[in-house]
Amino acid sequence: MPFALTEQRERELDDILTRYPTKMAACIPALHLCQDQNGWVSEDVIMYVSTRLDLPPSHVKGVVTFYTLFNQEPVGKHQVWVCRTLPCALRGGLDVLHQCEKKLGIKPGETTADGMVTLRTAECLASCGTAPMMQVDKAYYENLTSERVDEILARLKEA
Ligand code: FES
């Protein structure tokens, strides 16, 4: 069955389209809306956005493959992004990553067996002043300590 937005999200997309000068300019927010519903950007989602915005599928695919925030395959219910860029690395970012790998039992790019968490690494997430940091779904966790990482991951498991 081809991908389709829910009625409510269709209305949101209509609203988004009123805020941009061209349909092409709304490609990124349209993809986010679809990903929020579907969890990832499948080929069906690409075709949907292509049709809805009157864009060639190759254009939509180019956007999806350029931006790492678009999931090109199914992911866990929650996504943990650990910043690995220099300012975070200098303040223990790699220790945070190793702690996440150990606690979750997975490597970056993998999803836990229960489908709950996907672990990722990210380049600078623009929070260098509060390094080391990581992003869980849409929330930032900053000035991380080993204890704080344990708490965050434990809360994810409970959720
Ligand atoms: S280097 Fe980690 S947020 Fe900038």
User: Which structure tokens are listed for 75?
Assistant: 């992911």
- Summarised one tens digit per residue, pLDDT across range 90-137 is 999 999 999 999 999 999 999 999 999 999 999 999 999 999 999 999
Model pLDDT, residue 158: 81
Considering its fold, how many domains does the chain have in total?
2
- Summarised one tens digit per residue, pLDDT across range 37-79 is 999 999 999 999 999 999 999 999 999 999 988 999 999 999 9
Among 20, 42, 66, which residue terminates a domain? 66
Model pLDDT, residue 1: 78
- Residue 139 domain-assigned (yes or no): yes
* Burial annotation 47-75 (CB, 10 A radius, 16+ → b, else e): ebbbebbebeeeebbebbeeeeebbeeeb
Among 66, 97, 113, which residue terminates a domain? 66
- The reply to whether 95 and 62 lie within a common domain is no
For the CA of 85, the closest atom of ligand 1 is 1
128 lines ligand 1 (CB under 6 A): yes
Contact 60, 25 (CB under 8 A): no
CA distance 125 to 72: 20
- The reply to whether 84 and 149 lie within a common domain is yes
As beta bridge partners, residue 139 has 136
Which one of 88, 97, 120 would you pick to mutate in the ligand 1 pocket, going by the greatest count of ligand atoms within 8 A of its CB?
A: 88
Could you tell me the residue range of the domain that residue 147 belongs to? 78-158
pTM of the model as a whole: 0.84
- The reply to whether 48 and 82 lie within a common domain is no
